[in-house]
A and B are shown apart, each in its own frame.
Chain A
């Protein structure tokens, strides 16, 4: 384990019901980077993220986050987490939601205006969350994860349903945060987002197919785009 790893996962096994959804997953996520977690729907991305933030009951293996076991009380205001389905209160306004989570995190009140600006929700502050569009809703949920000074951001499909311009703005924000030393783990099932990450974790059927950088992945598989690289990895695995 290197000192620059923000997350260290070793031999992680997770059952959901009787199904083994993560089979011996090991990976390490370098600090101050944007790591993409990619794979088809149902491959275990959300379960891996839930294990990292410490809300998943695991069957075996270990997850170390910022030097402590995942789920430790001392990690609770150092991690920002946005679930896949937007986890905000539909019957509150955008600002009321943020003010509540601010209080829970002991973050300064001024953070509310900052994160609204960061996710581009200016002008929607006093709008009820239930009246927001799908994209605005998921950005509200993302804004909550940005409150305080999280050292690790775990974002489950934060860019789903966003128009290309907003998606681009968010990726710029992710890179800015990473440059400040924040570690980001961002999941997506769209391969064209993979190229935007410094590190890539490719998953399929509860297993990690690759833990690499986009360039290295293309070189290893001798392909020209990441979609092809993913397919080539899947075929190599099935042939083996």
Chain B
């Protein structure tokens, strides 16, 4: 890995965002707007407080997945990737450059969503606010990493958009948001166990209910981070210098 090239890539992507204010506004505000909507759909602070932690994981995860997969696919289809692949940039420099840039955006997104949930929407949490931010941020990074990985299998932007239901929706359905994971049938519980979003939701629920940092919480965080890292490395493996 080459840190100056990695950081130059991050700076380049952030610069691209700077010229596209509408996308930035959508990315930063969308999870918050959805949470506000949800708060008034429930019409009760208590009900919102029960569902919100899981959604603080789900919304940034889904949004970062889709934004990342489209952006990287665009790089593949506009020949800038082909040009980069003739240059002295490592595949990991490129992918970590992307992850870092999107990580910055994800962090802002999560800070806004958590801030609005705590101050305006009446979310009550038992644990540390900062830990909540860290988990939600890690989760958004996981969405980014999976998006980078998924974009390798899409030939067109149309396909990339279709990957969102494929990669994201099963995780959302099985993460414990709609039904407790322990009440699922064996097969579904097993599926739920291999999906990284489940661990992010578990971790967020733990932080909102108790201030204790348990071994299980740490384990869940490590799993989420490791899955993100694995997706990035797999993304680098699927990135080819030579193409047909």
**A and B interact physically:** yes
A-side contacts of B8, CB under 8 Å: 100, 103-104
Given A83-B79, A83-B82, A83-B83 in contact, is the A57-B242 Cβ separation under 8 Å?
yes
B77 to chain A, nearest CB (A): 10
B9 to chain A, nearest CB (A): 8
Report Cα–Cα, A189/B16, bound state, in Å.
34
Task: Specify which of A16, A86, A90, A128 is in contact with B244 (CB 8 Å cutoff).
Answer: A16
Q: Interface residues of A, CB < 8 Å — how many?
A: 35
Q: Interface residues of B, CB < 8 Å — how many?
A: 25
B243 within 8 A of partner (CB): yes
B241 to chain A, nearest CB (A): 6
Report Cα–Cα, A17/B243, bound state, in Å.
11
A74 to chain B, nearest CB (A): 9
For chain B, residues 75 to 103, give those with C-beta under 8 angstroms from any C-beta of chain A: 78-80, 82-89
A105 within 8 A of partner (CB): yes
B-facing mask of A30-73, CB < 8 A → 1, else 0? Answer: 00000000000000000000100111110000000000000101
Task: Specify which of A57, A93, A104 is in contact with B87 (CB 8 Å cutoff).
Answer: A104
B82 to chain A, nearest CB (A): 6
Say yes or no: B86 contacts A76, CB within 8 Å: yes
A-side contacts of B242, CB under 8 Å: 54-57, 71
Say yes or no: B80 contacts A57, CB within 8 Å: no
Say yes or no: B12 contacts A100, CB within 8 Å: yes
A92 within 8 A of partner (CB): yes
Say yes or no: B87 contacts A101, CB within 8 Å: yes
A88 within 8 A of partner (CB): yes
Say yes or no: B243 contacts A57, CB within 8 Å: yes
Say yes or no: B86 contacts A56, CB within 8 Å: no
A194 within 8 A of partner (CB): no
Say yes or no: A76 contacts B80, CB within 8 Å: no
Say yes or no: A104 contacts B86, CB within 8 Å: no
Binding site for A on B (CB under 8 A): 4-5, 8-9, 11-12, 15-16, 19-20, 78-80, 82-89, 241-244
Between-chain CB contacts (< 8 Å), 11 pairs: A55-B82, A71-B242, A76-B86, A76-B87, A87-B78, A91-B19, A91-B20, A100-B12, A101-B87, A103-B4, A144-B83
Known: A17-B244, A77-B87. 17 other contacts (CB 8 A): A16-B244, A55-B86, A55-B242, A76-B86, A76-B87, A87-B80, A90-B78, A91-B19, A92-B19, A93-B19, A100-B9, A101-B87, A103-B5, A103-B8, A104-B88, A105-B88, A128-B19
